[in-house]
Amino acid sequence: MPSSPIIAPSILAADFARLGEEARAVEAAGADWLHVDVMDGHFVPNITLGPDIVKALRPHVKIPFDVHLMIAPADPYLEAFRAAGADLISVHPEAGPHLNRTLKRIRELGAKAGVVFNPSTDPSVIEWMMDDVDLILVMSINPGFGGQSFMRSQLAKIERLRKMIDATGRDIPLEVDGGVTPETAPLCISAGATALVAGTAVFRGGPDRYADNIRALRGG
């Protein structure tokens, strides 16, 4: 595992009137990925953004776009988000009838394929298809809204998924999203996480604070 976690600021916590500037600011501050939360008001109780906004943001930064699809069905929109510039596309097992087929399609499109675990989702859903998974994302809150408190119950799930990843011998990022702060980040890393999504913890205080905020998440 890398000594320093991947930091993926969630654009959902940015100033939506200045998204391009905000994306450039977190990249300059040391962000590794840009996390894009896509919600449809159906699979989760909120509506955020679609492929056109991803496409508009793409020219502003060089870092990978980590697109988390909280939509159902997800399959009809994979091509649009890939064409808009998504480098990693993650879906929930509950968002379609055939998770394996969805992951294969994401890879066919040239993106990396991720699986997202809601707090109640059992890790066993990917046990027999680990070779088709490029990213695992554990939700440490219930998806749909930012600003929720970290669910410590998910630390055991992170540990179990870490063992599953290690057994493959592959370098699959294990990402955590929800309530990640300088206080909870070390818990995630200790449990085996290698990537952290943070919204409020990165964007609080304005652009002058972003570098310090990212450093704090890394334990610096």
Q: Give how far Cα 139 sits from Cα of 29, 71, 142, 145, Å.
A: 25, 15, 7, 12
91-119 burial string, b = 16+ CB within 10 Å, else e?
Answer: bbbebbeebeebbebbeeeebbbbbbbbe
Q: Which 3 state secondary structure label does DSSP give 138?
A: strand
pLDDT tens track for 151-190: 999 999 999 999 999 999 999 999 999 999 999 999 999 9
Instruction: Give the residues of the chain that fall short of pLDDT 50.
Output: 1-2
According to DSSP, the residues that pair with 38 across neighbouring strands are 69
Q: Is 87 noted as a catalytic residue in this protein?
A: no
Is residue 192 annotated as involved in ligand binding?
no
Q: pLDDT value at position 182? A: 97
Question: What is each CA distance from 162 to 1, 59, 81, 135, 173, in whole angstroms?
Answer: 10, 34, 28, 12, 9
Q: Which domains does the chain have, with CATH numbers?
A: 6-217 (3.20.20.70)
State the Cα–Cα distance between residues 139 and 129, nearest whole angstrom. 20
**This prediction's pTM:** 0.96
Q: What is the structure's pLDDT at 1?
A: 44
Q: What's the pLDDT at 2?
A: 47
Whether residue 179 is annotated as binding a ligand: the answer is yes
CA distance 86 to 39: 15
Residue type, 109: L
Q: Dihedral angle at the C-alpha atoms of 102, 163, 43, 106, nearest 10 degrees?
A: -20
Catalytic residue among 32, 37, 66, 75: 37
Structure confidence at residue 143 (pLDDT): 76
Q: Is 10 assigned to a binding site?
A: yes
Residue 149's pLDDT is 87
Identify whether 122 is a catalytic site residue. no
Contact indicator for 115, 93 with CB cutoff of 8 Å: yes
The pLDDT value recorded for residue 53 is 96
